[in-house]
Amino acid sequence: MDELSRRKMLLAGGTLGALGVLGAASPARAGSAWSWAASGSVAGSGAGSDPHSVWDEEIDRIVSDVIERGDVPKVNQLLRTWTRNDQPLPDGLPADLREFMDTARQLPTWADQGKLDTAARFNKTKGIYVGALYGLGSGLMSTAIPREARAVYYSKGGADMKDRIAKTAKLGYDVGDLDAYQPRGSMQVTAVKTRLVHAAVRHLLPQSPGWSGTSGGQKIPISQADILVTWHSLPTFVMRKMLEWKVRVSPAESAAYLHVWQVTAHLLGVRDEYVPATWDAANAQSKQLLDPVLGRTPEGVKLTDVLLDIVAEIDGGLSRPLVSAFARYTLGDRVGDLIELSDEPFWEPVIRRAWPLLVAFREGLIPLPLVPEAAWTMEEAIRRFVLLFLSEGKPISIEIPDANRPS
Ligand code: HEM
């Protein structure tokens, strides 16, 4: 789908998917021993090694060689032309990188096209919730995940958050696209490119004094455990909130939404033995990995502020209080306080009252007259927040970094 029609769809209330991920994360080490059972994974069994000490060995080595040889600009230029799932890789890539990517782009044997199609339809029909939750839930939660906040802050993208959000948003809407994992879609491309970016970050961040000084002893960022933490801030959190909000989700839709993210985890390089097979397994893993690591860092607080400043660009600051209050409503006071979201005495009670009514109306549970006017203001602000990052009119290309944030 081209950028224009993508934006039209968003305007029409479709895949709000954007903004998601915003970051990527990982936290201060959870402390307790790894006890999540691989029998609950899509692989059904595993070696049981602690994912805090597992990275992505082969591609980490290949990308680190690309960086050291000074080949990043050339590789990025070639990869700009690689945009569709069914497209051959461009000629001219280093042979080892090409070989790796040709394998990495394949869907796992356990991918189920029927479930992926159901998930795509679900992402469309529930786009407003999914988009709001990716952008103002998961996205801002990433700043309360210390390892993620620091990795983002000290990496190259940390210096240009608007660009970074646009790139991260790409994964958010590609994953929610009707064609996500169809031949003409682009999610395999986006996930594999992201895997390369993460490999580059593993090579680069240890050279950043800012990162090394705050990493709490972690020598290489973005372990498999870290990726799982971020993963739970996405689908696990989003599904939990949708259920809390009483959005109608059928068992087939729920399973399909999990599935699209299982496939995504696989394509991002997470070993199948760590990818939860069911929501129960996912919730148990999230409890072990995500819950204990949420925390405050100066980097996370700064990133939150930058993000909300970007929001203020939409309308000279008018919607910043509303967006901040909506994020607090979505994330809860504990996380809201960790990232120093402002208290909004006007908007917070309004949102607490109006949002459930808006959801109930959208889900066909109450008639229109019961929806207060404020709900539409809120919905409009959320849409604009997401669209801001899609309206630059330039194609978004995820690129391998070759440097850290300038100090
Ligand atoms: C880059 C998604 C996990 C740190 C990216 C990008 C995407 C993405 C789409 C490309 C955007 C860009 O280039 O700016 C994800 C997803 C994750 C995940 C879906 C897990 C499900 C993590 C984790 C960390 C992390 C766990 C760190 C602890 C970064 C950094 C960049 C990046 C530092 C590059 C920033 C730069 O441009 O320098 N991620 N990520 N990510 N991610 Fe992740």
pLDDT at 194: 96
pLDDT at residue 5 tops 60: no
Q: Are residues 55 and 158 in the same domain?
A: yes
Share of the chain above pLDDT 90, in %: 68
**Minimum-distance ligand 1 atom for the alpha carbon of 20:** 19
Q: Which residue among 19, 21, 400 has the greatest number of ligand 1 atoms within 8 angstroms of its CB, and so is best to mutate?
A: 21
State whether the beta carbon of 266 lies less than 6 angstroms from ligand 1. Answer: no
For tokens 């990162």, what's the residue?
A: 211
Q: Is residue 393 part of a domain?
A: no
| Residue 407 in domain | no
Q: Which ligand 1 atom minimizes the distance to the CA of 226?
A: 26
Cα–Cα distance list, 207 to 159, 180, 297, 403 (Å): 16, 35, 20, 9
Beta bridge partners of 41: 276
Q: Say yes or no: 258 and 329 in one domain.
A: no
> CA-to-CA distance for 15 and 22, rounded, in angstroms?
17
Region 75-100 average pLDDT:
97
323-344 tens-digit pLDDT: 899 999 999 999 999 999 999 9
Q: What is the mean pLDDT of residues 135-154?
A: 94
- Range list of H helices, 86-214: 95-104, 113-125, 127-132, 139-141, 146-154, 161-176, 187-204, 209-212
Domain stops at, among 292, 327, 357? 292
**311 and 287 in a common domain:** no
Mean pLDDT of the 198-204 span: 98
- Of 164, 165, 197, which is best to mutate to test ligand 1, by the most ligand atoms within 8 angstroms of its C-beta? 197
- Answer yes or no: is pLDDT of 4 > 80: no
Residue range of the domain that includes 353:
298-388
Assess whether pLDDT exceeds 60 at residue 277.
yes
pLDDT at 151 > cutoff 70: yes
Q: Is 152 in the pocket of ligand 1 (CB under 6 A)?
A: yes
Domain membership flag for residue 306: yes
Query: Which atom of ligand 1 is nearest the CA belonging to 145?
Result: 28
pLDDT at 397 over 90: no
Among 242, 260, 292, the domain-final residue is 292
pLDDT bucket at 46, cuts 50 / 70 / 90? very high
62 inside domain: yes
Average pLDDT over all residues of the chain:
88
Lowest-confidence segment of 119-123, 158-162, 265-269, 287-291 by average pLDDT? 158-162
Query: Is the shortest distance between the CB of 354 and ligand 1 below 6 Å?
Result: no
The verdict on residue 5 lying in a domain is no
**Same structural domain, 305 and 273:** no
Question: Is the CB of residue 25 below 6 angstroms from any atom belonging to ligand 1?
Answer: yes
Residues in CB range of 124: below 8 A, 6 or more apart: 14, 15, 176, 178
Residue 2: pLDDT band (50, 70, 90) is very low
Q: Domain boundary residue among 228, 257, 292?
A: 292
Output 164 or 315, whichever has higher pLDDT. 164
Instruction: Give me ligand 1 centre to Cα 85, in Å.
Output: 20
More confident residue, 383 or 345: 345
pLDDT band at residue 18 under the 50/70/90 scheme: very low
Are both 273 and 302 inside the same structural domain? no
Give the ipTM.
0.98
70 and 148 housed in the same domain: yes
Whole-angstrom distance, CA of residue 319 vs CA of residue 315: 7
Which residues face 404 on adjacent strands? 155
**Alpha carbon of 24 to ligand 1 centroid (Å):** 5
- The answer on 320 and 175 residing in a single domain is no
Q: Are residues 114 and 158 located together in one domain of the fold? A: yes
Give the per-residue pLDDT at 146: 97
pLDDT at 392 over 70: no
Q: Count, in order, helices (H) and strands (E) of the chain.
A: 19, 0
Q: Which residues, 6 or more positions from 298, have their beta carbon under 8 angstroms from its beta carbon?
A: none
Q: Which amino acid does the sequence have at 214?
A: T
Distance between first and last Cα of the chain: 38
Asked whether residue 208 is domain-assigned, the answer is yes
> Cα angle at 169 between 21 and 259, to 5 degrees?
60
Check whether residue 154 and residue 233 sit in a common domain.
Answer: yes
**pLDDT (0 to 100) of residue 176:** 83
**In this structure, is residue 2 part of a structural domain?**
no
For residue 28, tell me if it sits in a domain: no
Taking the C-alpha atoms of residue 78 and residue 84, their distance in angstroms, rounded to an integer, is 14
Distances (CA, A) of 66 to 111, 151, 397: 31, 21, 19
Per-residue pLDDT tens digits for 359-377: 999 899 899 888 888 888 8
Same domain, yes or no: 176 and 80: yes
For 219-276, what is each residue's pLDDT tens digit? Answer: 999 999 999 999 999 999 999 999 999 999 999 999 999 999 999 999 999 999 999 9
Residue 157 Cβ contacting ligand 1 at under 6 Å: yes
343-357: average pLDDT: 94
If one counts the domains in the chain, the total is 2
Residue 274: closest CA among 3, 26, 5, 51: 51
Same domain, 268 and 313: no
Which has the higher per-residue pLDDT, 323 or 22? 323
DSSP 136: I
Chain CA centroid to CA 188, Å: 15
Q: Do 78 and 55 sit in the same domain of this protein?
A: yes
Q: Tell me, what's the pLDDT at 320?
A: 85
> Residue 29 has what pLDDT?
52
Instruction: Show Cβ contacts of residue 53 under 8 Å, excluding neighbours closer than 6 positions.
Output: 223
Beta carbons within 8 Å of 73's beta carbon, 6+ residues apart: 402
Candidates 54, 162, 230, 268: which one to mutate for ligand 1, based on the most atoms within 8 Å of Cβ?
230
Stretch 132-149: mean pLDDT: 92
